[in-house]
Amino acid sequence: MDEFKLRLRFALSLWLPLLAVPLSAAIVLVPAVCVYLRWKTAIGNSDKLMLTMGKFQMMIPREHMLRSALEMNAMREQGTISLLNAPGHLLGAFASQLVVHHANGFPDSLGSSLWRVLSLPLFAIPAWFFAGRGIDGLLLRRRMRLFDLVLSAILVLLSLALSAGLRFGLSESERASDEMLVSYISGFAWWSLLFAFPLSAWVRQRLRKVNTA
């Protein structure tokens, strides 16, 4: 019982999702809050904040400053969030249609960037759990089953296929028209390695079993 409690306490299948979601949130929220605090100081007693960006100027009402800071940082960091949580695109594409019921796949009240940074970390939780399960298996904290081997192989091949398809299956002009493609390509390539942990753990445990037989 004590050994089981110890394994559960340090199970990466639980800790990876618990760490990945706050990390993604911090990447977006911490800079956004810093920007908001600077704006709050700059606006003083005025009702509107004037921002100058190159040749463009933008007026932000006081009551919309926090949301504007979040939206601006979401646009800046959506590539990082997409890379870290690439599998969330697969589940998110399906779940968004069920939950949002919108042709664009995101609520108009949030916009694509803000919806992406908010939803992808949540949709990627099962992927982080499975990757953590594989690491636990490599550390011999968890017994890997045939299901883990099969699912791991499928997800590795799927991730590699998506990464290669986006990289080599599109023309240069198509890739240039979508700035998020680099994050998708790198993200799925990165996750093909993470999804390989359960497969590697299964092989290691089988070899260990054969050597000790």
CB 144 within 8 A of CB 137: yes
Q: State yes or no: pLDDT of 183 exceeds 70.
A: yes
Q: State yes or no: pLDDT of 4 exceeds 70.
A: no
What local confidence, expressed as pLDDT, does residue 116 receive? 87
What local confidence, expressed as pLDDT, does residue 3 receive? 45
pLDDT band at 104 (very low <50, low <70, confident <90, very high): low
pLDDT, mean of residues 3-7: 45
Q: How far apart are CA 161 and CA 138, in angstroms?
A: 25
**Which ranges in 10-145 belong to alpha helices (H)?**
12-43, 65-84, 88-99, 112-123, 125-138
CB 197 within 8 A of CB 134: yes
CB 166 within 8 A of CB 185: yes
pLDDT tens per residue across span 57-95: 778 888 888 888 898 899 999 999 999 999 998 887 776
Q: State yes or no: pLDDT of 204 exceeds 50.
A: yes
Q: State yes or no: pLDDT of 149 exceeds 50.
A: yes
CA atoms within 13 A on the CB side of 100: 20
Cα four-point dihedral sign 99, 101, 105, 109: negative
What local confidence, expressed as pLDDT, does residue 22 receive? 94
List b or e across 83-95, with b for residues whose CB sees 16 or more CB atoms inside 10 angstroms.
bbbbbbbbbbeee
Residue 204: alpha-carbon gap to chain centroid: 28
What local confidence, expressed as pLDDT, does residue 1 receive? 41
CB 13 within 8 A of CB 132: yes
What local confidence, expressed as pLDDT, does residue 97 receive? 64
Q: State yes or no: pLDDT of 16 exceeds 80.
A: yes
Domain residue ranges in the chain: 126-212
Q: State yes or no: pLDDT of 133 exceeds 90.
A: yes
Residue type, 54: G
pLDDT tens per residue across span 110-119: 777 888 898 8
The least confident of 50-59, 146-155, 189-198 is 50-59
CB 19 within 8 A of CB 85: no
